[in-house]
Amino acid sequence: MRSFQTERWTVDKTEQPLTTHPHVIQASLWIKKNEVIAIPTETVYGLAGNAKSDEAISRIFEAKGRPSDNPLIVHISERSQLEGLVSSIPETAKKLMNTFWPGPLTIVLPKGDEVSEKVTAGLSTVAVRMPDHDIALALIEASGVPLAAPSANLSGKPSPTTADHVYEDLKSRIPGIVDGGSTGVGVESTVVECANDLVTILRPGGVTLEELEKVAGFGHVVVDPGLENEKHAPKSPGMKYTHYAPDAPFVLVDGSPEFLQGLVDKEREAGRKIGILTTEERMDFYKADCLIPAGKRSNPETVAQHLYEALRAFNEANVDQIFGEVFPKEGVGVAIMNRLEKSAGGHIVKE
Ligand code: TXA
Ligand code: MG
């Protein structure tokens, strides 16, 4: 593996014009050399490279330690860049673009001739999105090419929502990180596939099923059965991998705070150091060695925003075991629970 002195290029979003910002230019020069750099988006930080260069794509997979059968999302700044990238766009997909782009929605479309097999991991489709982040958009423009970018974490770790998280995982593996501060949404984009009038959610994320239904029509949005039912393989290759795991074993607790505390007490009596992934409302209720709130239960968007940061924070606390609260599976709660279940490797204790 090649080794770099990883630089940090700070960019303030409010400085205009961003496309000629010295740090944006500097980062785009690396992209033009087919190197890979980390960039902020509205969801999580991405590890970006020229989507049209096999060399750049190989470097993304290498820096992340990503399995080569897991395809990447291509990020664009203008719809005109879809030419050559995709071979056709169904009407429903156009409607979704009109409403949700720029924003946290990734659409899987038939692949065009200009996309390398490496980006799509040999699939006949390509995943595309237009991020709602001025720095990301400026970088795509300054680089002059669409950017392929997975989340900028080491494969298997929680996705990064700050430049510090990226540095933790990828220092010396990449030449630089564009630091645009904390990302907003906190969980990744929703990945969908469109066929005829049907929208299938392959990965829940920042755009909710309810929001998609408003555009595609009630009853025209379904969830890939492979996400919930082990008998089906998920349609999105990335959904089969262990992901978002903290260092210590992590168990979700579907029950009352009293029940969760009972589990914690038993472990602590046996001399083990226990952490609880909780919410601000319940911080005063629990007793444990380390309590980390992921946001406010009454405002699930804040839980999405702080979820990965909270999971990462347990690694510093050196606990032997983590217990976590569950959330209602509605709105962004679906994405939150999808990530928590993966993070816990499917380990759930019911009251
Ligand atoms: O918010 C996001 O989507 C972030 C930011 C950086 O844009 N990116 C991200 O990328 O989460 P990544 O690589 O961590 O996750 C991409 C997901 C994976 O589950 C992958 O399998 C799926 O999208 N995917 C990519 N191309 C696909 C395709 N052609 N068909 C089905 N799933 C695809
Ligand atoms: Mg990822």
pLDDT tens by residue, 294-340: 999 999 999 999 999 999 999 999 999 999 999 999 999 999 999 99
Q: Give exposure, 251-265, as e/b (b: 16+ Cβ within 10 Å).
A: ebbebeeeebbebbe
Both 174 and 76 in one domain: the answer is: yes
With a Cβ cut-off of 6 Å, ligand 1 is lined by: 41, 43-44, 46, 70-73, 104, 106, 108, 120, 123, 125-127, 131, 149-151, 188-189, 191, 202-203, 235-239
Both 45 and 104 in one domain: the answer is: yes
Residue 191 has pLDDT above 80, yes or no: yes
Asked if residue 127 is part of any domain, the answer here is yes
Both 146 and 256 in one domain: the answer is: no
Both 261 and 207 in one domain: the answer is: no
Residue 33, pLDDT score? 98
CA 305 – CA 293 distance, rounded (Å): 11
The residue whose CA has the least distance to atom 10 of ligand 1 is: 150
Asked if residue 245 is part of any domain, the answer here is no
Residue 245, pLDDT score? 86
Model confidence pLDDT, tens digit, residues 68-115: 999 999 999 999 999 999 999 999 999 999 999 999 999 999 999 999
Asked if residue 191 is part of any domain, the answer here is yes
Q: Structurally, how many domains does the chain consist of?
A: 2
Report the Cα–Cα distance between both ends of the chain, in Å, rounded: 47
For 318: left if phi > 0, alpha if psi spans -120 to 50, otherwise beta; the answer is left
CATH number at residue 82: 3.90.870.10
189 in a labelled binding site: yes
Indicate yes or no: pTM above 0.75: yes
338 in a labelled binding site: no
Ligand number with the minimum distance to the CA of 126: 1
CA atoms within 13 A on the CB side of 165: 31
Give the residue among 278, 262, 252 at the shortest CA–CA distance from 337: 252
203 in a labelled binding site: yes
Both 219 and 254 in one domain: the answer is: no
Domain of 323?
250-350
Q: How many CB atoms lie within 10 A of CB 4?
A: 16
Give the residue among 100, 277, 315, 307 at the shortest CA–CA distance from 186: 307
CA 257 – CA 267 distance, rounded (Å): 16
Residue 135 has pLDDT above 80, yes or no: yes
Single residue among 207, 223, 239 that ends a domain in this structure: 223
By CB atoms closer than 10 A (0-12, 13-18, 19+), residue 232 is: exposed
